[in-house]
Amino acid sequence: MTTVKTNSMTPVQAINDGLRTMLHEREEMVVLGEDVGINGGVFRATDGLQESFGEDRVFDTPLSESGIIGTSIGMAMNGMLPVAEIQFFGFVYPAYEQVMTHATRMRYRSMGAFTVPMVIRAPYGAGVRAPEIHSDSMEALFTHMPGIKVVCPSNAYDAKGLLISAIEDPDPVLFLEPLKLYRAYKDEVPEGKYEVEIGKGELLREGEDVTLIAWGAMVPVIKKAAQLAEEKGIGCDVIDLRTLSPIDKDIISESVQKTNRCVIVHEAQTTGGLGNDIISIINDTSFLYLKSPIERVTGADVHVPFWALEEHFLPTPERTMHAIQKVMDF
């Protein structure tokens, strides 16, 4: 067996490395968006790419999300592989129409004659004291959309592997990059091309009593909560969902059928949030295994507050522990 060389990287460096790897691999791929060129992206996710690949392949667009996504759809239909950046996920709304009305339904409308193999990347989520709107976690707007896949890595290894899978995917993929984790820690990331399969979650830790489910920046939160639980003698299965649409229902049902209890943690608002779909999956697959109602620890049905009060919006390990105790005590 040949050993693969790895490098220690932050998630944002891994994303850069993934883009670089695929720009080498696929000559029809382009990277476009606001400030992705000479500036290398406001978070440096595209740093140095224009220098290496030129202005034809990595380019700044005018300031127009609808324009970026609409033209990407056209490029994708006509033989290219656009990877478009939305500078912050909270600014995706002007592009929403293009995604909803065209990207997601071109294959269906044309019975496969036209397809849209494109990726939309966006920094996502709260907890970095960003100004208003920059912190929105509106993934559910997109998981509710038919015809688009949604992924959200929580570490550098998955970030690169999932991004490569997203670029290789023949359909549109929304790739959410948790802002809070961009530089939170480093992982060993293999050089060159590798894929992390879209649609598969990962079991990060095993325990007998409760299943904890989260994605993105909430994964470190449930990992910490699992530690707190262990101090009280409660064992947790910890699941990083990784793909939000389609959800890995097997990993959820296997775990819940073992632990019989579940706590779901997401930073997005409660109503219409993805936690509710996970509950439905558990209902469908594992209802008779449950020993307690499923708990959700989520943002309230309010806007992400201005950052002086942000901590009161975001789930914490302590709030998660509170919910774990509740399902144990039921």
Partner 1 sequence: MHTSIKNRSAHHQDITEQFPVKQIIDGEGNLVEDTYRNEITVENTRKFYRQMLCMRTFDQKAINLQRQGRIGTYPGFKGQEAAQVGSAMALREDDWMFPTYRDHAASITFGGSYAILSSWKGRVEGNRPPEGRNIVPPSVPIATQLPLATGAAMASKYRQSSQAVIAYFGDGATSEGDFHEGMNFASVFRAPVVFFNQNNRYAISVPVWKQMNSETIAQKALAYGMPGARVDGNDVFAVYHETLKALERARSGDGPTLIEAVTWRYGAHTTADDPTKYRDNEEENKKHILNDPLSRLEAFMKAEGYWDVQWAEDIKKEIKAEIDEAVKEMETMPEPDVNDIYDHMFDSATWPIEEQKKAYMEYLKGGSEK
Residues marked active site are found at: 134
**Closest approach of Cβ 93 to partner 1, in Å?**
7
Nearest to 298 by CA among 313, 318, 310: 313
Residue 10 near residue 186 (C-beta atoms within 8 A): yes
Q: Is the dihedral of CA 188, 191, 194, 198 positive or negative?
A: positive
- d(CA 74, CA 172) in angstroms, rounded, equals 12
Nearer to partner 1, 58 or 251 (CB): 58
d(CA 90, CA 79): 29
Phi then psi for residue 196, to 5 deg, are -110, 125
Joined together, the tokens standing for residue 62 give 């005018």
Compute the residue count for the chain. Answer: 330
According to the binding rule CB under 6 A, does residue 136 interact with ligand TPP?
A: no
CB 273, min distance to partner 1, A: 11
Choose among 316, 15, 313: nearest CA to 154: 15
CB-based contact 214:240 (threshold 8 Å): yes
Q: Which is nearer to ligand TPP, 134 or 266 (CB)?
A: 134
DSSP conformation class of 303: P
The listed partner (partner 1, ligand TPP, none) that binds 37, CB under 5 to 8 Å by sort, is partner 1
Given 10, 50, 87, 245, the residue binding ligand TPP (CB under 6 A): 87
| Residue (197 or 318) nearer to partner 1, CB | 318
Q: Tell which one of 63, 197, 206, 284 touches ligand TPP (CB under 6 A).
A: 63
Residue type, 291: K
Residue 120 is classified by DSSP as E
Instruction: Kindly tell me which of 306 and 330 has the beta carbon lying closer to ligand TPP.
Output: 306
Sole window of 86-94, 106-114, 226-234, 300-308 interacting with ligand TPP (rule: CB under 6 A): 86-94
Please report how close the Cβ of residue 84 comes to partner 1 at its closest, in angstroms: 13
Which residues of the chain form contacts with partner 1 (CB under 8 A)?
Answer: 30, 32, 34-35, 37-40, 42, 55-57, 59-60, 62-67, 90-91, 93-94, 129-134, 270-271, 300-303, 305-310, 312-313, 318-319, 321-322, 325
18, interface contact from partner 1, ligand TPP, none, CB < 5-8 Å by kind:
none
Residue type for position 88? F
Contacts of 68 (CB under 8 A, 6+ apart): 32, 33, 34, 61, 84, 85, 86, 95
Q: Which amino acid is at 225?
A: A
Nearer to partner 1, 111 or 309 (CB): 309
When CB distances are held under 5 to 8 angstroms depending on the partner's kind, the choice from partner 1, ligand TPP, none that residue 144 binds is none
300 binds ligand TPP (CB under 6 A): no
Return the range that interacts with ligand TPP (CB under 6 A); candidates 46-54, 87-95, 182-190, 265-273.
87-95
Binding residues for ligand TPP restricted to 19-38, rule: CB under 6 A: 34
Q: Which residue has the tokens 């959800």?
A: 247
CA distance 97 to 313: 29
Contact residues for ligand TPP, defined by CB under 6 A: 34, 63, 65, 87, 91, 94
